[in-house]
Structure 1
Amino acid sequence: MGCNHSYCKNCIVKYISSKLQENISRISCPVTGCNGELEPQNCGSILPNDVFVRWGDALCESMILVSERFYCPFKDCSALLIDECAGENKVIDQSECPECRRLFCAKCKVPWHSGFVCEEFDKFNNDERVIEGLQLMQLVKNQEWQRCPSCRMYVGRSEGCAQMKCRLEF
């Protein structure tokens, strides 16, 4: 649904670039009152390669339903991924990012939390979610330790009664 309007090369490149900056992938003709849509294949010869590629990527991304797309949970990767099982009862727990090759949980879309179901992992604070924290949480789970409600330190009962007093209250 293109149109036959002519444009200044520099102006149309700036126009397309600005629309892409605004996360608009379907770019309409800049002429007032025109309902035409610019098409990448018609503009490819005048656009810098990076702008052309970015426009193509934006169009592809816009074709994927918002509910089906997510990004790799690792901050140094953030590759766009597609949830092929969106809305289904998921059987697959573990998945690998094709970009950075690291494992993540296919159910809750966070770095892989081996040994913990999503509900348990969801209750962890940010410090507990890193590798060392996950190892600590596995130990807590295995030893059946509990958090002190006052100081939040982990405590375990080795013997005696179940009554515990916070060490900070002395």
Structure 2
Amino acid sequence: MQFLEEEAQEEQFLEITHEEEKGFECGICMDDLPVSDVAIVDYCDHALCRDCLRNYVVTQIAERKFPIPCPLCAATKTKDGGSEWITENLIQILGIPEAQFAIFEEMQLVMYSVPVRCPGCRRSVNIDRQEYEENAILACPLPGCNYGWCKNCQQAIVQNGPRHSCDGTNELDHLMTQQGWKRCPRCKTPIQKTSGCNHMTCRVPGCNTEFCYVCGHTPCQCGRRI
């Protein structure tokens, strides 16, 4: 039994050694290299040597190109006309210099987020690009802020307030309802009664409509004296 186990271990060792001895041809320099030097691009599975791919990635970053396409896909143009991209995980495996990796992260951040300045706390923050494009109302995600504003008109959003409108229509309607204000039945100008009877006269030039402040009609239809 021990002899069989030792024989199996020896076969496994020989198999591993054989795999390590197998090489591959780099798609850029065309050299035959050991598999320990291989870097495989995700999705397209193109095999390149790490030195070639590292130099290529560093050059692409220096030229501020993002996302970084697979060099073989870009050269041969895949059937759909596109290219597979070099992922962040692969770039980390390649071990590019820290300065270049910092630039890569910055470009990646710009690709998927939008930098904005919160009008509330006056600090800059990056917001997810999809969220920014799909929503008109933004909320500052920074701790201790929670300020909300409209990205179109930059007005503040009142918590638990009326539905926002850039021209203030909804906010004014909400305020009029709270205060009991009325609108002129002709020109629709907001009118507030401060004292006196319910008989109102619109002071807007060219209007001068008379109406009942209670029911809004002329003559009064609510049965109250105006």
- Name the TM-score, length of structure 2 as normaliser: 0.38
Question: Which protein has the bigger strand share?
Answer: 2
- Name the TM-score, length of structure 1 as normaliser: 0.46
| Higher radius of gyration, 1 or 2 | 2
